[in-house]
Amino acid sequence: ETGVTQSPTHLIKTRGQQVTLRCSSQSGHNTVSWYQQALGQGPQFIFQYYREEENGRGNFPPRFSGLQFPNYSSELNVNALELDDSALYLCASSSTGQGVDEQFFGPGTRLTVL
Amino acid sequence: SQKIEQNSEALNIQEGKTATLTCNYTNYSPAYLQWYRQDPGRGPVFLLLIRENEKEKRKERLKVTFDTTLKQSLFHITASQPADSATYLCALDSSSNTGKLIFGQGTTLQVKP
């Protein structure tokens, strides 16, 4: 098990609602990346935070937003939930945010949108 | 368009045999390629990283090759065991050295005793 934790484990929401997912990075890591993983697919990059600043974004609409705090923990917020947002949301931390670093993934939050 | 593809069909092999998984990519020039293992309901776990100037990398029973001409990486598990059953994901950096990984869809390996 890595030191990356995520909460909650599971979440059920209805279409149109808003959700906040949380991630605590591994000790000493200043970079957090968020991924969305639909069933049977690989993780898709949402965005990355490095030292509290957004450091790159994937092909996701603005209703996906995030924050990183001074302790390097992070939040993913999704507004106006759609059925297609149902997925496993993964956060990953790394020490520098560079491609040469391995990323340490948390167990994920399973979001179901009804 | 940019794509990274893995065999979508599950790979079923007998215990003790070598499993070989394929990762192909187009319209990328990655400096690194990574392989991860993912068990059901859990996050991916890093296995190996191979750089563009490395042809082969080994770690215990695992071997990865990287052919930048063919735009392909092969992942081998020798002397496979039932405990190796999982989904294996390849990933590359979406742009130079940024850590923003693009993943393939994964290949599920089932090792039968």
**Do the Cβ atoms of A106 and B43 come within 8 Å?**
yes
pLDDT band at B3; cut points 50, 70, 90: confident
- Chain segment B21-58, per-residue pLDDT in tens: 999 999 888 888 999 999 998 999 999 999 988 989 99
Give the CATH number of domain B16-112.
Answer: 2.60.40.10
Burial of B60 (0-12, 13-18, 19+ CB in 10 A): exposed
In tens digits, chain A (114 residues) has pLDDT values of 569 999 999 999 999 999 999 999 998 899 999 999 999 999 999 999 998 999 889 999 999 999 999 999 999 999 999 999 999 999 999 887 666 778 899 999 999 999
**Partner residue facing A107 (CB), from B30, B43, B101:** B43
- Per-residue tokens: B67: 């052919």
> B2-19 burial by CB neighbour count: b if 16+ within 10 A, else e?
eebebbeeebebeeeeeb
**Do the Cβ atoms of A98 and B97 come within 8 Å?**
yes
**Do the Cβ atoms of B94 and A41 come within 8 Å?**
no
Burial of A53 (0-12, 13-18, 19+ CB in 10 A): exposed
